[in-house]
Structures are given as C-alpha cells and as structure tokens.
Chains A and B, each alone.
Chain A
C-alpha cells in the first residue's frame, strides 16, 4: 500500500452503524420534580431580596449615625423612624402627606387626560402629530419648577399653581412615550383592528392603547417620578408663603426649626411613598398586564 491510498483511507468518513429503538418510558418524569427548600424559595423572592437590602441600608445608617453621634447633622435611623411614627400618629405628617397626595393625584390625572387627548389627536391626523411633536420638543426640556413663577402670576397662591406645574411635569413625558408606543404598533395589528371596522376613539382604546401598553406604562412611571419630585420641590419654594403646604412644607418647616430628625422623617416619607408606588402599584400593574401578555420580561 503506498502512502497515497493510505491518506485517502484516513480521510474517508467512518461509517457508524444505524439504529432504531423503542422509546424510553418517560411517564415518571413528572414525579421527578424536586420541591425547592424554603431557603431557596426565599432567595428566589424578589421582594425578600430587595427587603433585605433595605434592612442592610437601615443598619448601616444606624451604625454610622451612632458612630458620628451628632443628631443635629445626622440623626439615627431609629430617631427618624420614631419621629416619623409620632408625627403620623399625631396626624401632622399624615395631614401633610394627604395634602401633597391630593395635589399630586389631581395634577397627575389631568396630565394623563391631556396626554391621552394629545396623542389621540396625533394618531388621528398629521396636523395633530406635528402639533404634538412641536409641543413636546418645546416643553419637555423646560423644568417644571421654572414655570412656578408664571403659575403664581396666573393662579395665585394656592393648589392650582402646583397643579399647573405638575401637569406640565407629567404631560410631556407621558405623551412622548405613548406616542412612540403608538408608532411602534405592528402594521398587521393595526390592519387587523381596522379590518374589524374599528375607527377613531374605539380603535385607539381597543387596539393602540393595549398594543402600546409597555411604552405607556413607562411613560406613566416617568410621569409619576417627575410629578413627585416636582411637587416636593415646588412645595419647598411655595410653602414658605402659603402655610398650608404638604410634605415639602413639612421638611422646610422642620429645617427652620433645626429639627433634623423631622427633616429626615419627611425625606424618608418621600422615599417610602415613591418606593411604594413604584414597586407595589406599578409593579402590580406590570405583572397583571405586560408580563402576563408576554410583552415584557
């Protein structure tokens, strides 16, 4: 045998035997699931993990404040919570929260409603879409607080000035997101909707809004964060002259009295409410909608 044919043999694919077989019995596979231990299950629980992080942070806060030992600069976590609970029970903090929440909800609802109208018009006509594009380009970069002086001139000292500023803070974020959500609704889904004879508001409500819901939800979340931030900031400026302020005013007042643990309690309340809305309310909406529908992981 010369080297040439040997090379050829080596290159030839090895022929492996064919086979057919009866299927392995797989009926017991269902019973093979091993239940997770309670510890494993706990570690898989997002709420538990995040809660644990919060507890850690509270402990670090407490430790640092104790070590610093200067309650005027940095009160302990326990002091802050004590003040917070006290003021909630005696109604002061609760009343402030209620005042803020009322303004916030009015402003938010008006903002959402206006955003709905604007984006519906934008979907319905090219003029509407140009109007929306121009308005958002103009007003979105304008900080809400910058409108406060104007609001005071127009609406005077009172709730409606705050509402005006809030609406501005909420409207553009939601309109922008909703509009981009509407634009990215797949063509076949749009055509399906119109195929069933849907037009106008029914088309928007039954097809576009659910189809664009992930973007709308993002807009609502951003709008909420803007609104909450804007409100507290506006109250800090505004509360000085009004006396009937909300949470922002509570914080401002506490600073005037050099009552640092109350300042902390006010800030902590702002954070807690923000967290609750974000991770309880919006989270619940997310789980029941976009996640259930497989539109978002």
Chain B
C-alpha cells in the first residue's frame, strides 16, 4: 500500500474563526495534518487552543476560512456518518432510547445498516464494550464510564472512515479514565479503526496515541508531530517523550514543575 492510498484524513492549511458580535476569534491558524489508515492520531494542546474547533470542522460543522479538509479524497462539506464523533459530555446519548436503541439509532437514521443487520451489529458492538447485561437499560441508569462506552460502541458500530473523539474521558474519574484508555486500546487491537483523539493530557496522549500532534496555545498552530511508542513502550522511552513534549509546549523552564497534564 502506498503512502497516499492509506491516507484517510487530509487537513491542509486550515484556519478556523468564530465571529462573535464583539470580535473575531481565531481558533486555529494554518493547521496541516494527515491521518492514515489505523492511526491513533492524537491532537494534544492546552485548553482553548482550538482542538475542539478543529474537530468540529473535520466533523463538517464549521467551514474553514482558509484551507481544505478532505476525507479519503472527498472534500468535507457537511456532517456525515463517515466521521463519527464521540464527545466528552454524557448528554450525547439520547435519554429516550435504551443502550441498544442508542447504538442502533445512527445506523438506522443514516440508512447505513438496516433491520436485522443493524440489530446484530449493535448487539456485537455492545458486547465489545462489555455492556451486554445493560442492553435494554436507559442511559440515566448507567455510570459515567458506561455511558462513555455506549457512545464509543455507537460510533464504532457505524464503521466510520474515522472516529473523532473529543476528550472522551475527561469527565471521568482517574481510575475509570485509566480503565477506559486500556479498553479503547484493546478495541483498537481488535478492529484497527482509524481515530483522531483530542486530549489536553500529555499522559493520555502518550498512552493512546501512535502519533501525537502538538498544538500551540491560542491560536492553535502546529508545534510538532511525534511518534509514540504506545502503551507497551518502555518506561525510559515514555518519560523521555513526556519530557520532550513538555519542553515543546512550555519551554524548558516549566518542565521541572509540571510532571503531567497540560492544563
């Protein structure tokens, strides 16, 4: 497979702005990135550097003022089920549908999968995130981690070209977050989906990512793109990478003070 064949997402020179009644906010400035097949691509940067905005633009919710975004060669113009988004907020689940209903909904609404097929795929996805016991339960009866697993199952079941995840574990407690990171990686080992994962935690970026893009503070500009050894890397390598990322993001003087986490 050549390098261009497995290119999934191509963002080039993208500048994103918000027009508020008072002023114009530039969220990202001339960002380039390429996500390839089965990448675990992490966008890492401090809060407010435009990560969510960039993800929204890739999702098709926002038009760049400059630059282009294309998915498998097709320009992104509007939201669509070929890019499934997972958000941080638990409200993304539909409270009026059971776990099964939530997972099935995008398949049926988009017409991507139908009837029996959708049903079986949904059950399989729910099984993958180990929620089979809760298939017919409404979201309000689930814990935060379980809700997030439903959201992930729902996105994965659609078999999108790319999974767009915006700090999906940021609202969870530290223990649950750890567990969810491991589970996500285990799922990736099974399915090898392509994902673009946003986080502001250096630690999380190193655990999750195969490749990490660093964005500068406001307005977000590309600072670096690094390879990560992933969760199986040895400790020395990981701590070296972590320090390196610190230095890139904050300069040398701060790196001694802040061991992990950008914001």
Identify which of B83, B138, B139, B140 contacts A195 (C-beta below 8 A).
Answer: B83
With A and B bound together, what is the CA distance between A191 and B83 in angstroms? 12
**Closest CB pairs A-B (n = 4):** A294-B140, A186-B91, A188-B92, A196-B106
Chain B residue contacts of A211, Cβ below 8 A: 94-96
CB-CB nearest in chain A for B90: A188
Identify which of B80, B85, B138, B140 contacts A192 (C-beta below 8 A).
Answer: B85
Identify which of A197, A202, A293 contacts B81 (C-beta below 8 A).
Answer: A197
Interface of B is mostly: mixed
Chain A residue contacts of B94, Cβ below 8 A: 189, 192, 207, 210-211
Contact between chains at B138 and A197 (CB < 8 Å)? no
Identify which of B79, B109, B140 contacts A206 (C-beta below 8 A).
Answer: B109
CB-CB nearest in chain A for B89: A188
Assuming A188-B89, A196-B109, is B59 touching A293 (CB within 8 A)? no
* A-B contact sample (8 more), CB < 8 A, given A191-B56, A191-B79: A188-B91, A191-B85, A195-B80, A196-B105, A196-B109, A289-B96, A292-B138, A295-B140
Can you list 16 pairs linking A and B with CB atoms under 8 Å apart? A189-B92, A191-B56, A194-B79, A195-B79, A195-B81, A196-B109, A206-B105, A211-B94, A213-B96, A289-B96, A293-B95, A293-B140, A294-B95, A294-B138, A294-B139, A295-B140
With A and B bound together, what is the CA distance between A192 and B103 in angstroms? 12
Chain A residue contacts of B106, Cβ below 8 A: 195-196
B197 within 8 A of A: no
A198 within 8 A of B: yes
Contact between chains at A194 and B61 (CB < 8 Å)? yes
Chain B residue contacts of A195, Cβ below 8 A: 59, 79-81, 83-85, 106
Which residues of B come within 8 Å of A, CB atoms? Answer: 56, 59, 61, 79-81, 83-85, 87, 89, 91-92, 94-96, 105-106, 109-110, 138-141
Identify which of A186, A194, A206, A294 contacts B141 (C-beta below 8 A).
Answer: A294
Interface bracket on A: 20 to 34
Which residues of A come within 8 Å of B, CB atoms? Answer: 186, 188-189, 191-198, 202, 206-207, 210-211, 213, 289, 292-295
Identify which of A186, A193, A293 contacts B89 (C-beta below 8 A).
Answer: A186
With A and B bound together, what is the CA distance between A195 and B94 in angstroms? 14
CB-CB nearest in chain B for A206: B109
Chain A residue contacts of B56, Cβ below 8 A: 191
CB-CB nearest in chain B for A203: B109
Chain B residue contacts of A293, Cβ below 8 A: 95-96, 138, 140
Chain B residue contacts of A289, Cβ below 8 A: 96
Chain B residue contacts of A202, Cβ below 8 A: 109
Chain B residue contacts of A194, Cβ below 8 A: 61, 79
Chain A residue contacts of B105, Cβ below 8 A: 196, 206
Contact between chains at B79 and A188 (CB < 8 Å)? no
Chain B residue contacts of A213, Cβ below 8 A: 96
Chain B residue contacts of A294, Cβ below 8 A: 95, 138-141
Chain A residue contacts of B139, Cβ below 8 A: 294
CB-CB nearest in chain A for B106: A196
Min CB distance, A16 to chain B, in Å? 26
With A and B bound together, what is the CA distance between A202 and B106 in angstroms? 13
With A and B bound together, what is the CA distance between A17 and B106 in angstroms? 56
With A and B bound together, what is the CA distance between A294 and B96 in angstroms? 8
With A and B bound together, what is the CA distance between A197 and B112 in angstroms? 11
